């Protein structure tokens, strides 16, 4: 629903995934062959977005409830299972609220203020529940119709819900530009620095040494760390095909119970040779590590996927996808692994007159 000044938009997505066959190729004889049904999962994504515009200001509020499988959410975060055991699909539940305010200061200057709160809970004991809140200011100065400069101060707080309580406060500043080179090409550049202050409750925590199998107590004092953050993106988009290439370095909340520094490069491409047919390609490579110097846990990962989609009726789509994944943990005993997935799917969207 929308008027000249007001809009209220809701969106609901429901997904069901069923696995017919799982094959395991492992050097570990103790690793049991999983059942295909262990990977079956459902997803639910509900959003409600309110916005109001007047004169030089715009305010908005978005609420979201998202239920999905860790198979889909944790690959670029914690990894999947540490490779010492195979876990099927388990639920990750996310509730978030995000208010925002935009102020058109004058013809050349604009200010965006965005806040957010997120609560994440896991069904599996392999992951750690957490709360995450953030506040971002984005000041933009328009040099001309195609180019603007940006300055982004930000603050965030991460709090896990484990026995080894961790609270991390992050302060950051980034600057850069957004350049619409042509109507179809755009270049985004941002670079800056962050400082992370981390407090540990209880003075430490117990871990299992992967080499000896013995339980050890790791004593960790409160600490702070500096890091580089930034991103560069080049995009092209027209009626029949589009391309994007992005590299980024970010401090992100994690289901590991701590903040992680994630460096990633990603490329996407789509092609619409006919009105009802679309081909998509998506590839990424990255490394994720904790921000704590004394508790490093680096992991390399890569992923490539190709998808074919066909709209066979007004509201119906048929798709087929192949995806390849690989991950390698640098700590001894955690190992490396690869995965191949082929699936077919069918989707339906309600007509606009119903929505």
Q: What is the pLDDT of residues 252-284, one digit of tens each?
A: 888 888 888 899 999 999 999 998 999 999 999
Q: What pLDDT is recorded for position 285? A: 96
Q: What pLDDT is recorded for position 337? A: 79
- Helix segments in the chain, DSSP class H: 70-73
Q: What pLDDT is recorded for position 44? A: 93
Structure tokens belonging to residue 15: 């997904």
316 vs 60: CA distance, rounded Å: 32
Q: What pLDDT is recorded for position 3? A: 87
Query: Per residue in 83-115, is it b (16+ CB within 10 Å) or e — as a string?
Result: beebbbbbbbebebebebebeeeeeeebebebe
CA–CA distances in Å: residue 351 to residues 8, 9, 83, 131, 277? 18, 15, 44, 37, 20
Q: What pLDDT is recorded for position 83? A: 47
Structure tokens belonging to residue 92: 């990750």
Q: Which residue stretches of the chain have pLDDT < 50?
A: 83
Residue 262: CA count within 13 A, CB half-sphere: 22
260 vs 291: CA distance, rounded Å: 5
261 vs 326: CA distance, rounded Å: 19
Q: What pLDDT is recorded for position 265? A: 97
């Amino acid at each position: 629903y929308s008027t000249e000044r007001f809009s209220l938009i809701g969106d609901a997505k429901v997904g069901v995934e069923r696995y017919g066959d799982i094959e395991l190729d492992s050097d570990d004889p103790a690793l049991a062959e999983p059942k295909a049904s262990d990977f079956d999962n459902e997803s639910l994504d509900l959003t409600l977005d309110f916005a109001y515009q007047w004169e030089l200001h715009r305010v908005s509020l978005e609420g979201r409830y998202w239920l999905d499988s860790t198979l889909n959410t944790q690959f670029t975060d914690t990894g999947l299972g540490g490779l010492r055991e195979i876990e099927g699909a388990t639920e990750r539940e996310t509730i978030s609220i995000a208010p925002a305010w935009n102020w058109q200061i004058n013809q050349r200057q604009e200010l965006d203020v965005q806040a957010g709160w997120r609560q994440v809970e896991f069904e599996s004991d392999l992951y750690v529940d957490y709360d995450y809140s953030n506040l971002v200011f984005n000041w933009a100065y328009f040099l001309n119709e195609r180019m603007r400069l940006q300055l982004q101060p930000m603050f965030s707080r991460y709090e896990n819900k484990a026995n080894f309580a961790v609270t991390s406060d992050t302060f950051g500043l980034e600057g850069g530009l957004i350049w619409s080179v042509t109507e179809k090409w755009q270049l985004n550049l941002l670079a800056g620095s962050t400082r992370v202050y981390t407090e540990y409750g209880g003075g430490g925590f117990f871990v299992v040494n992967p080499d000896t199998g013995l339980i050890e107590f790791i004593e960790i004092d409160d600490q702070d760390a500096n890091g580089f953050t930034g991103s560069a993106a080049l995009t092209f988009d027209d009626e029949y095909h589009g391309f994007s290439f992005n590299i980024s370095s970010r401090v992100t909340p994690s289901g590991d119970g701590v903040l992680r520094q994630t460096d990633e490069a990603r490329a996407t491409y789509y092609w619409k040779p006919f009105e009802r047919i679309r081909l998509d390609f998506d590839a990424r490579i990255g490394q994720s590590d904790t921000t704590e110097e004394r508790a490093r846990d680096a992991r390399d990962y890569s992923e490539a996927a190709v998808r074919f989609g066909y709209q066979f009726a007004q509201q119906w789509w048929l798709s087929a996808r192949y995806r390849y994944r690989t991950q390698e943990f640098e700590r001894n005993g955690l190992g490396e692994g690869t995965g191949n997935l082929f699936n077919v799917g069918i989707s339906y969207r309600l007509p606009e007159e119903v929505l």
